[in-house]
Structure 1
Amino acid sequence: MKFLILAGGNGKRLKSKKSKPLTELNNKPLIKYILDIVNSLNKNSEKIIIANPKNYNDLEDMIDKNTHIYIQDKPLGTAHATKIGMDHIEDKEDVFILYSDTPLFRDSTLYAMYEHHRLTKSNITFMSGLTSIKYPYAVVYRDDDGKVIRLEEHGDPEYDPPYEYSIGAYIMKAGVFKSLYSEIKPHPDTDEYYIPEVIIKAIEKKLSVEGYICLDEDEYLGINTPEDLKLAEEILLKREVSDSQIQEEKYIKFGTGGWRAHIGRGFTLQNVKKLTQAISNYLKMNGKTNKPVIIGYDNRFLSDEAAKEISSVLSANNIKNYLSTTPIPTPLVTFTVLEKKAALGIVVTASHNPYNYNGIKVETEDGLPIPLHMSEEIEKISNSIDKISWIPYPVAKEKNFTKECDFRRKYLDYLENKLDYDSIKNAGLKVCFDSMYGSGTTTIQLALIGARCDLEIIRGYRDTLFEGSAPAPTEEKLSHLIYKMKNGDFDVGMAVDGDADRIVLVDEKGKFLHTNEVISLLWYYMHEIKGFKGGVVRNVGTSHNIDNLCKIFNEKTYEVPVGFKYIAEGIRKHNALVGGESSGGITFRDHIMEKDGVYAAMLVVEMLAKTGEKISRLLEKIKNMVGKWLIFFEKNYNISPEIKIKLNKFFNEEHKTIAGYKVIEKRTIDGYKYILEGGRWVLLRPSGTEPLLRMIGEAKNEKEIEKILSFLVKKLEL
């Protein structure tokens, strides 16, 4: 198969200084879209470009060794341009003809068209499209059996919509084209030769002609005017959302929390093995196979099986590994990486995502979240892998390449040495703990009981459906815990997410405490009661009340993008005492540089034991110190293709006010954050792990929050 690309258009109607094929769409020449699609179909295929005398040199600069350019000296039509290319191709060769000004075809559509051509064994296959709009294209007519019987160039359809038009992609043998071209005549009005005339001649000669119907009108938009360019930009924006499921199945892509995908769509055991092979290759390329890899997993569906597949692939690559004997919290893998001086850690988890997700998180040998350069390299390797090394798990175990290990023991010993267990034991605290069916159940249970706390556990068993929801410890999902706290005799209620790296609290009166408030409590306790110095690193979506608290004690806060790797970097860079994010993650300078809900939980009970205060009293004391305590809000909205377009427009506009409040500053280190007058702020940020728009901010009261949200919802038509 050879590809012939017609790129002789001058682009006068586009009002561009460049020829049409070189006109840019999202900073990329139109013809580059076509070349990329062709290369995705067959990167080694021969390509022929038909240029005009003016754009020849520019096109020559962007081609590879498999591409040749020939010139159409005079604009005598598409069939004439095609003939120039066909003269350099043997008659027996199949040729795929494309226009450079139709950059929106999906590679899957062109592949399906080729397969249709091959399987039907037709002489010619052309791409057609259905629409209710009348276009000046060649109209397609079919008989009752669906056979193409007629093509009418620039015709007016003689049937009711949807109308079918030939839309500019063709497959035929070079010899077939040459024979038919010799029999067609130029158009009487333009004296030019057009490809549809070749198809018409083929039908007249009773050759087999197939019309493959492209069902997505967006794909065959031809770029002829500035308005077409703008529409194409919007279509590409929509595709970022609408094609995400296709991309998820085909490619492994890391987000802020590692690789996550829908179970059965992107998260499959085959993709798990592919990613593990990429990690193995990365370790080999960087000389790190002499150290083991630590493997953990959570309570989700397929997590335990995926963990064994990871072990099997690592072992087949001669990389020794330790596999947890039980579902464990993510921070225990981080801790064990450091304790065993491992090459890295791998956790099968989707953290707080909905039940139909799973994923893999990678920790570096330093116990840090995987940095961007490393994740990009592993992604690149993953998506180019053809072969995977694998052996059955029992064989890996028998040959001692994998060892099953209980990672909880040494971590629990660490907690007992790190914290004041004597004070906790003597306090006789009563704790109600909601595990949300996650992997933190037994570890936190052992830690609290080991500290002689009187413990009641809610949702402490495995439910892979998480009650049909997500194991995210939000107020709405903790009604049972809140009820228990209101009606029981407990000192504190606590909840963690699915892999126990995030934590929230409920006080003794049954009031929900957001992680923002937990960060404030634990920083105050570490700074003022335990006597440690240092500020706080928080992400862009975390409360500014923390800033105001730190100022009272002459400490600074540092704002970073979303992703705990930035929190960890910030703690190290600024020697900060605490790092945290509003989504639930907290860690501390003298602990592992990953969010840890287990350690935070034990620090909370130590705080209660050492101060002798109730949670509500401690928080009230902090709020009184700060004075004007802002009210935090967070709302999630599904991102549709239409919303994506509106968001992009909103972000590019200048806003002097939002909901009537003056915009003081616009920050763009992650998402779009608008600092408003009076300490208010709002952040608009697409999630890095889910198809959601997160709307986060703070205001002085609920009325102001409603005002801000209503304005944005109406503006973006959410």
Structure 2
Amino acid sequence: MASTPLKAIILTAGAEPTLASSTKSTDTGTSTDTGTSTDNAAPWPLRTLGDRPVLDYVVELARNVVQPQDILFVVNRHSAQEPGDVACFIQQQYPQEAFRFIEQNQPLGTGHAVLQTYDALKEYTGDLLILHGDSPFFRRSSILGLIRRHRVKQADLTLTSGITQKKIRAGRILRAQNNLIVDVIEEEDASPAVQQITELNMGAYVVKAPLIWPILQELAQIQTAAQSAGKIHFTECVRRLIRSGCIVENYQVLDEDELQDVNTVSDLETASIILQKRQLRPRRMEERNIIRFGTGGWRALIGEGFTLDNVRRLCQALANDIARQSREADGVLIGYDRRFLADVAARAAAEVFAGNGIPCELQTEPAPTPLITYATARLNVAYGLMFTASHNPAEWNGLKVFASDGSLPLDEETRAIENEANSLIAEQVVKVDLETALRNGIVRRVDYTNEYIDAVEALIDLPAIRNARLRVVVDPMYGVGQNALETILTEARCRVNAIHARHDPLFGGRSPAPDLGALSLLISTVRENNYHLGLAMDGDADRIAIVDDRGAYITTNELLLLL
């Protein structure tokens, strides 16, 4: 695969959203809106899906298979001040990437859009990957499969297809009895019989670049001669390649959710459901070696996305950021919980910061996340790091990164860090072995548990708690919350018992989340043994649940009222 050059074209120059009904096809690349959206007049690739624009998912995908300098965006003509300026958005989002931008003055179809890149690519003889900026759900494995099949089959053009019973606006793929593709017909041109075909053209292609320019130029000349305002469909280029005897193959995508694009309000609602489904379902991460921050940090499956290689790349990006801010002397603080490999990852991180000349304080034992945020702010270090996946299942691990004041960094800050981390390779990571760093003193083992406990006790009314003579049962859910909380309660003269307290990196076979469904043993223990209070925490002890003396669960809203 590596022997043949590959460049990518991302098509974003569709029609602007209006209040008319949507009529988008996989080939025209144009759309109109149905109703309104919170993104107002932004084109569909810039509408928000989850916590980022639709186009950002496509850019991430392209960057996984093509070097940034080999990615071309076809964009509408906009001024830099307009909300629909895709080029401006990309340049702000990826300031260090050498993307190229080609303007399409009028949205005359994807064939016309691809033709606009001719001047930039006319000397190029390799393969072209063509993607749509409004198709956010292609998996990396699908695009790699598309590229691999194209090259293994020595095809001239390979398209993506999918089989579904859903009513989706897409071209239909026609096959001969020998199963070879003989045509691709757009939905608006399809007869009722053709519309019953369930194999759809998904709009992503790999094609030998020199083959398409003569065809697209001829189609443009025909349009000009006829003084036609019609669109030049890229599927017409596919059709002509087939009829000229070229080898046209397809890669069939098995997940029909990947067929979903975003061109209407209804599409966006459906896409949001698909995204939530993907986020809630534990995903295998072997299909992309990508670091992506979500709510509360970076999390991934151990052995798939969460690897020591990715830990080192992310820490190298953080070290680079510290160096750019000239904050090396402020150092970093690293903590970890009881999860599998959390302590190993913390040591690997310390080696990277030491290799970059950044002093590092490494917790001597597992610690709760609030302790790390407290110490980060108290020390005013450049970053505080906590290796944990919080309440996620045992198969997961991750990293929470905290700013100098103990808060979470802003989205644009984490986006810049993850982009840099994803651009690094293992050979670019600078590190020294931990033993050398400890001997040198650039890494120090520390324990802020006592200081943290003192700080917490300074905020509470210990005499009042002592006078209450409380009997409390604590459920740390096999996590790191027991030591600090039990010490505080004991010093408050509470009688304390603990359940689920031993070190179990499997968390007893369930997620360490203090939700009502996971508190049955705590509730029964409180009721049967006449405890005044039951307290449960998640795996890294930054969430708490309370059960009263009757065994009743105190909801989050009720807890907020108490606070």
TM-score, scaled to structure 2: 0.69
Look up the match of 1:408. 449
Cα offset, 1:295, TM superposition: 2.0
| Partner AA of 2:175 in structure 1 | Y
Match of 1:234 in 2: 269
Among 143, 149, 155, the residue aligned to 1:116: 149
| Aligned partner letter, 1:388 | V
| Residue 150 of structure 1 pairs with residue 182 of structure 2 | yes
Quick check: 477-486 or 35-44, which moved more? 35-44
* Alignment-derived partner of residue 211 in structure 2: 176
| 8 Å CA contact retained: 1:352, 1:498 | yes
Q: Distance in 2 between matches of 1:79 and 1:272?
A: 42
Count residues in correspondence.
508
CA contact (8 A) 1:322 1:405 kept: yes
> 2:138 is matched with which residue: 106, 116, 120?
106
Asked whether the 8 Å contact 2:161–2:199 carries over to 1, the reply is yes
Q: CA deviation at 1:310?
A: 1.9
CA contact (8 A) 1:296 1:346 kept: yes
CA contact under 8 A between 1:139 and 1:155: conserved in structure 2?
no
SS in 2 for 1:114: helix
Alpha-carbon RMSD across the aligned residues, in angstroms, is 5.3
Partner SS for 2:352: helix
Kept in 2: contact 1:262–1:358 (CA 8 A): yes
Q: Describe how 1:536-575 pairs up with structure 2 within 5 A.
A: 541=557, 545-546=561-562
Match 2:175 to one of 141, 148, 151: 141
Q: Are 1:213 and 2:213 matched, yes or no?
A: no
Deviation at 1:320, TM superposition (A): 1.7
Matching residue within 354, 358, 365 for 2:397: 358
Question: Which of 332, 341, 360 is the equivalent residue of 2:371?
Answer: 332
Residue ranges of structure 2 left out of the alignment (5+ in a row): 1-5, 34-38, 47-53, 89-98
What is the TM-score normalised by the length of structure 1?
0.56
Larger Rg: 1
Q: Is the 8 A contact 2:181 2:249 kept in 1?
A: no
Contact persistence 1:298–1:438 (CA under 8 A) = yes
Decide whether aligned partners of structure 1 residues 448 and 179 sit closer, same or farther in structure 2, where only a CA change above 3 A counts.
closer
Q: 1:466 aligned to 491, 507, 512, which one?
A: 507
Amino acid paired to 1:329: P
Instruction: Report the residue type matching 1:29 in the other structure.
Output: P
Structure 1: which 5+ runs fail to align? 517-540, 547-579, 581-718
Report the CA distance between 1:259 and its aligned residue.
3.6
Alpha-carbon spacing, 1:476–1:204, altered in 2? closer, same or farther (3 Å): closer
- Preserved CA contact (<8 Å) 2:376 2:384: yes
Distance 1:214 1:425, change over 3 A: closer
**519, 541, 560: which is aligned to 1:500?**
541
Residues 1:396 and 1:229: Cα distance change in structure 2 (over 3 Å) = same
Q: Give the Å deviation of 1:181.
A: 7.8
Aligned partner of 2:292 among 238, 252, 257: 252
- 8 Å CA contact 2:170, 2:202 repeated in 1: no
**Distance change (3 Å), C-alpha of 1:459 and 1:129:** closer
Identify which of structures 1 and 2 has the higher relative contact order when contacts are C-alpha pairs closer than 8 Å and 6+ apart. Answer: 2
CA distance in structure 2 between the aligned counterparts of 1:293 and 1:395, rounded to whole angstroms: 18
The CA distance in 1 between the partners of 2:417 and 2:524, in whole Å, is: 46
Structure 1 partner of 2:125: 93
Shift in CA distance, 165/493, structure 1 to aligned 2, threshold 3 Å: closer
The C-alpha deviation readout for 1:262-292, integer Å capped at 9, x for no partner, is 4445443333333322332332233322134
Distance 2:298 2:290 in 1: 13
Q: Which residue of 1 aligns with 2:345?
A: 306
The aligned counterpart of 1:600 is none
Give the alignment partner of residue 442 of structure 1, picking from 460, 483, 502: 483
Mapped partners of 2:311, 2:478: distance in 1:
23
What is the rounded CA distance, in whole Å, between the counterparts of 1:10 and 1:511 in structure 2?
59
- Return the letter of the residue paired with 1:253: F
Please tell me the residue identity of whatever aligns with 1:282: D
Query: Which residue identity lines up with residue 480 of structure 2 in the other structure?
Result: S
2:68 aligned residue (43, 68, 73): 43
Displacement of 1:81 in angstroms is 8.2
Look up the match of 1:282.
321
Separation in 1 of the partners of 2:113 and 2:371? Answer: 65
| 1:221 to partner: Cα distance | 6.9
Q: Structure 2 CA distance, aligned partners of 1:222 and 1:486?
A: 53
- Worse-superposed segment, 484-493 or 340-349: 484-493
Distance 1:351 1:46 in 2: 37
Match of 2:43 among 29, 33, 36: 29
SS in 2 for 1:250: coil
Q: Is the 8 A contact 2:103 2:116 kept in 1?
A: no
Query: What pairs up with 1:181-220 in 2 under 5 angstroms?
Result: 199=238, 202-203=241-242, 205-215=244-254
**d(CA) in 2 for partners of 1:9, 1:346:** 43
Structure 1 residue 210 displacement after superposition? 1.6
Kept in 1: contact 2:513–2:539 (CA 8 A):
yes
Aligned position for 1:316: 355
Contact 1:94 / 1:171 at 8 angstroms: preserved in 2? no
Instruction: Please tell me whether residue 394 in structure 1 is matched to residue 435 in structure 2.
Output: yes
Matches for 1:625-704 after TM superposition, within 5 Å: none
Task: Check the 8 A contact 1:48/1:70 in 2, yes or no.
Answer: no
1:462 is displaced (CA, Å) by 0.8
Distance of aligned partners of 1:156 and 1:323 in 2 relative to their CA distance in 1, 3 Å threshold: same
